[in-house]
Structure 1
Amino acid sequence: MSAFMHRFPLMIIGGSVVIGIALLAILAPWIAPYDPNNIDVSVILMPPSWQHWCGTDTLGRDIFSRMLYGARVSLAVGFVAVGISLILGLILGAVAGFFGGRIDAMLMRMTDMVLCFPTFFIILAVIAFLDPSIWNIMIVIGLTSWMGIARLVRAEFLSLAQREFVLSAQSLGVSPIRLMWRYLLPNAMGPVLVSAILGIAGAVLLESGLSFLGLGVQPPDASWGNILTEGKDNIQIAWWLSAFPGMAILITVLGYNLLGEGLRDYFDPKLNQ
């Protein structure tokens, strides 16, 4: 175990941060000292204290409790959005890489066309025509972030297509569908997993940005982004409204990035020789 930690410290550190934040989010109803939407006018804008560890907001709501519930929103958006993009990317990339030819050219040109548009502005445009709800955010982020996974899966399939085990399976008459999902895809999942982990960090940032702009999770529901919005309006008199959710976003994104980099090292064959 110590040798593993010495070889892959980023994965251990990042994984510990990710697991810790996930546990806090899951256990939020039992950990949170207050109801996140409970209004108490007697403690409006109270600074951090033993009573309210992260202070209170302009309605007297406990920031620590709201951040715990906000973690549930951010992680849910990250996992669901990346799940949608992963499914789309795997299917399109696998089909393009396996069949090649005109199918590959058509799918990759479509991918290139989607990549030409700034993702954040596409999301803003779509959200503007939809109700700003958590489910709409998940779906829109997932539908606009599959391109990198598709290109990665295609490249892996092209690399694996000439391997001996693939040629042997083809000579035995294995069907194309079974060949793709039984033989090629499991061998391509290492880089795809790394990309998915890094994608969760990006989705958390996107959700926070949308909520900060008022296009994401709507009050009174808690989100790190909408807590930051309130902090922006009171930055000179209530620094804790910006500092604590900002630190939560930073630590979460950093944890997923470290985990992704650690997994990349783990799947690197040169490091495992």
Structure 2
Amino acid sequence: MSTTPDAGTLVLAATPIGDPRDAAPRLAEELATADVIAAEDTRRLKRLLSALGVSPIGQVLSYHDHNEAARTPELVERLLAGERVVVVTDAGMPSVSDPGYRLVAAAVARDVRVTCVPGPSAVLMALAVSGLPVDRFCFEGFLPRKAGERARLLAELADERRTMVFFEAPHRLAETLAAMGEAFGPTRRAAVCRELTKTYEEVRRGTLHKLTAWALDGVKGEITVVVTGAERKVTTIENELSGIRHRVEKGERLKDVCADVAARTGLSKKALYDAAVAAGKGEGPLGV
């Protein structure tokens, strides 16, 4: 879809996650020339501008969780008027566990061009240094603060085979690692990455049990947790037959159930189907 004629551009600008020297060269240019800079924290932006030696010519506005809904329409109107709006958050890429998504969605809905200035990422850096598999991963952001909601979400992730990345506040780290140990098993491997790119950068690797014990002494700083995915469960056709029977008795088609089980377990769909049919004739555990 083409963009709206004469509209401006929305720029999501990644900021350093710790060391200001990691800033992309284009970040300084965008901040210097933008018509509007929408910043999660204007005080942090001021420090970043000073570190980069930048004096912006545009207007600086606050754009954070508490005013995002109210300020988004104003920014969209300025974009439609042809202005270049740059969004920055405290660290990393806007809209990723930070303000920005609402504005991006609104801009896209009005066919306004959206682009970004790439830069440092706590997610990718934590993955890279974790020592855990990185060929496939998923980002889960911050877990719920309430214990019950957190436990339910972790239970849903217990069989996730991709490496998982989480953000967490330091004062909740030990509690979260313990909850992960309960959901995933205490021997699941993980890495806690603290203060990435900063003076006291630290990466702790080990089982969830060991990392929980370490975190009980107290941890400070920005935290990213990387947890290895679940191993594929080894099963047999015989082990799956009772589950197949239960689903068929509830009204699902046998072919569909066998296809689903085959995709999940790696077992042969035909072998599952044949075994289920045989069992249904009284020749196995599905017999009546």
TM-score between both structures, scaled by the size of structure 1: 0.23
TM-score between both structures, scaled by the size of structure 2: 0.22
Structure of greater relative contact order (alpha carbons < 8 Å, 6+ residues apart): 1
More strand, by proportion: 2
